[in-house]
Amino acid sequence: MNATPLYEVRNISKKYGNVIALDDVSLQVMPGEVVGLVGDNGAGKSTLVKVLSGAHSPDSGEIYLDGELRTWKSPHDALSAGIETLYQDSGLAPDLTVAANVFLGRELKAKGILGKLGFLSEKAMDVRAREELLRVGIAVPSSTRSVAQLSGGQRQAVAIGRAVAWANKVIVLDEPTNHLGARQSGEVLEVIKHAKTQGLGVIFISHTLPHVLEVTDRIVVLRLGKIAANAPTSEFTPDSLLKVITGLSGSN
């Protein structure tokens, strides 16, 4: 494994008034690594996700991408650098087709005069959407089917597939299996495993500890805005991980 982290935050702190949301937090993800980020409510996970995605700027600390110091002024900066973030609300447009959702905000214009007039190349987007989803291990009935016709698991898989298709560095997934059944969650977890094989770095935030233990290589536990543990997944059991999260154990 490359010794240089793909994405890294060092000594990040963030306050909201008198509330310390993050206190000297450091986290890194290597190429082809899935890092689980867990913690109780109020641990600081949401704030860290916003810092990672460029939505919020830290009060102090540094952000590195491929070993280069970076500053995100907006989520667009992070997106342009190859960092895709998928929140609990997948951001899919249910009335649009799968292909239209994959290319949402990145639509392909038709060639020639039609493109100049604003017409889109729907056929090209259908073909490429199907290719991209298959590349990341997602089989949907048809890329021309509306998202509203898909199951919950398929919708979330499409959302993650869109992130995998466009990301070239890191994917940050915030509770991607939340409110999904066992089979649907399995579909999503398989997409995460496939993203790893593509050499992407994945940061997986979840309250569902069995899912975290299944797909991650390393687990970082946040508690009260600080890192409570950072160790290979193999060093945790469900019970020991829960104890670190709740503060019943000083280590894993």
Q: Provide the mean pLDDT of the chain.
A: 85
Closest by CA position to 159, among listed 88, 106, 216, 74: 88
Indicate the helix (H) or strand (E) that contains 128.
helix 122-135
Tokens in use for 23?
């206190």
Cα-trace Rg, the chain = 19
Q: What are phi and psi of 152, to 5 degrees?
A: -60, -40
Name the residue with tokens 């233990």.
213
Q: Give the Å distances, CA to CA, from 194 to 91, 122, 209, 210, 237.
A: 21, 27, 20, 18, 24
pLDDT, tens only, 150-201: 877 777 778 877 777 777 889 999 988 877 778 778 878 888 888 888 889 9
Query: pLDDT value at position 108?
Result: 62
Helices (H) and strands (E) in the chain, counts: 9, 10
Helix ranges (DSSP H) in 54-121: 75-80, 98-102, 112-116
The backbone torsions φ and ψ at residue 186, rounded to the nearest 5 degrees and listed phi first, read -60, -40
The domains located in the chain, with CATH, are: 7-94+151-246 (3.40.50.300)
Q: What pLDDT tens digit does each residue of the chain (252 aa) get?
A: 458 999 999 999 999 999 999 999 999 999 999 999 999 988 999 999 999 999 999 999 999 999 999 999 999 999 889 998 887 656 788 888 888 888 776 666 667 676 665 656 677 777 777 777 776 666 666 667 788 888 777 777 788 777 777 778 899 999 888 777 787 788 788 888 888 888 899 999 999 999 999 999 999 999 999 999 999 999 999 999 999 999 886 544
pTM above 0.85, yes or no: no
Q: In what order do the strands lie in the sheet with 34-38?
A: 83-86, 170-174, 201-205, 34-38, 218-223, 226-232
